[in-house]
Structure 1
Amino acid sequence: MTVVASTVSDSAHVELLQLQDAAREAGADSVTTVLPYMGYARQDDSFESGQPVSARAVARAISTGTDRVVTVNPHELSVNEYFDVPATAVDAAGLLAAPFGDLTEPLFLAPDPGARPLAETVRDSYGRGELDHCEKTRHTDTEVDVEPCDAPVSGRDVVLVDDIVATGTTMSEAVAHLGRDASRVYVACVHPVLARDAYTRLQRAGVEAIYATDTVEHPVSQVSAAPAIAEVL
């Protein structure tokens, strides 16, 4: 039996554990848990003494009710190592190329070096375009410094790519550096958390459109991650 749940909140985590328990009680010989979006996945390390590793705690809890786990673009692949059962990571980034029509001299841009492979995947799926990344220094959840990329952007369509957009701070800073030189600026992400006023912030920054998968339900979730998940089930 397969249980599918995006754990976007604490209550969603509890509901997942209940679903797993119900699957066992229904007599399932084996349970596969699919996590399109795994909450707490970004909290994959402790930064101060005594601080919990939330991703590990959540993974261990989920492991008690399943025989296998499938995640979709976890923030770090190492998160899958926290599960006590076999875990497979699915890459849905390539699907994000589908909504884009004819882009003008496209530049696929990552907000930091860590997101560059995602931007490359989207670029390769689109079929053409240049690839580059910015440099990012995060001070707090809402304070980020982004250094502009080296590639010229004048008159070009720029696609900013990341695995997750939460507060929109990083993307907004990147858009600010692009200024009015770029023809159009798009944002593409796998997980559109878009907490608080993130969506409005990006619109005000001048983003032409935001495209995301449906791992998190949002009006910008125009791409289904199902084909990527189905390949490993």
Structure 2
Amino acid sequence: MDSPEEPGACLLHFADEASSAGRLAAATDLRPLAIERHRFPDGEIKLRLPVDAAGRLPRRAVLLRSLHQPNEKLVELLLAAETARALGVQSLALVAPYLAYMRQDIAFQPGEAVSQRIVGPFLGRLFDAVVTVDPHLHRIARLDEAIPGRACAVVSGAPLLADWIAAQRDAPLLLGPDAESAQWVAQAAARHVFESAVCSKTRHGDRQVAVTLPDVFLRGRSVVLLD
């Protein structure tokens, strides 16, 4: 527990996620603090963390960063996390609504980098806990298998999506594009007893994909694709 004179935990975020940070802060009583970001002409970035008058941060902090378009953001996480530790943060959690580099969990061809086994431990070295939404977990059952030794929490967006769909469509058919989506389709369908089905997918390359529709009646129906 924080002492009376010590500020509570803060929520560190970047300017492009200020809106999401505001909603998360309101729901958790965390103080939102924006990280300043500067890009040099050669592409390097410089960060400045929002310290107090003594040049410090609270002992507990949460960093919000969704990792779509991830390459540069992973560098941001490295710089921000290491700097936060140097400025007094002892417990640092990452909230990443989208968690990148989880899909490549085996080498499909000789010489391929298995990104999940590299990026997962990398995040584990930076953060004490990781929270994400519906990560790509193909051949492992739990996120802590990808980020070993750290507290990991996975939140599913399927129930909220199901509620929204129910408010927009009457008796829709939920359709998943591939086998991986079946887990989320099943969760959403069960919440409102929607009918559901899943397509089969054969991938021939990054942008060459063959999809076979399931044997269900589609004409005139309200179909919601859930992936």
How does the TM-score come out when normalised to structure 1? 0.63
Q: In the alignment, which residue of structure 1 is the partner of 2:63?
A: 3
User: What residue is the counterpart of 1:118 in the other structure?
Assistant: 184
Partner of 2:147: 83
1:70 aligns with 2:131: yes
After the TM superposition, which residues 27-176 of structure 1 pair with which residues of structure 2 at under 5 Å, given as runs?
A: 27-76=88-137, 78=140, 80=143, 81-84=145-148, 85-100=150-165, 101-125=167-191, 127-162=192-227
Q: Mind listing any 5+ residue stretches in structure 2 that lack a counterpart?
A: 1-60
Q: What is the aligned length?
A: 161
**1:110-135, CA deviations, whole angstroms, 9 ceiling, x for partnerless residues?**
1123211211222234x242111111
- Greater RCO, 1 or 2 (C-alpha within 8 Å, sep 6+): 1
Contact 1:4 1:33 survives alignment (8 Å): yes
Shift of residue 73, structure 1, vs aligned partner: 0.8
In the TM superposition, what is the alpha-carbon distance from 1:75 to its structure 2 partner? 1.1
Once the two structures are TM-superposed, the CA of residue 157 in structure 1 deviates from its matched residue by 0.1
Summarize the Cα distance change of 1:71–1:105 in structure 2 as closer, same or farther, 3 Å threshold. Answer: closer
Give the Cα separation in 2 of the matches to 1:145 and 1:24.
47
Cα offset, 1:20, TM superposition = 1.1
Q: How far apart are the structure 2 equivalents of 1:66 and 1:102?
A: 39
Q: Which amino acid aligns with 2:173?
A: L
Gaps of 5+ in 1: 163-233
Q: TM-score, normalised by structure 2?
A: 0.65
Residue 96 of structure 1 aligns to which amino acid in structure 2?
Answer: L
Residue 26 of structure 1 is matched in structure 2 by 87
SS of structure 1 residue aligned to 2:107: coil
Query: For 1:126-171, what per-residue CA distance to the aligned partner results, in whole angstroms no more than 9, with x for missing partners?
Result: x242111111111111111111111111211001111xxxxxxxxx
AA at the equivalent of 2:124: S
Amino acid at match of 1:159: V
Over 3 Å counting, the alpha-carbon distance change for 1:26 and 1:49 in structure 2 is same
Report the alpha carbon displacement of residue 102 of structure 1 after superposing the two structures with TM.
4.5
Q: Is the 8 A contact 1:7 1:16 kept in 2?
A: no
**Amino acid corresponding to residue 64 of structure 2 in structure 1:** V
1:28-54 CA deviation, whole Å, 9 max, x = no partner?
221111221112221222112221111
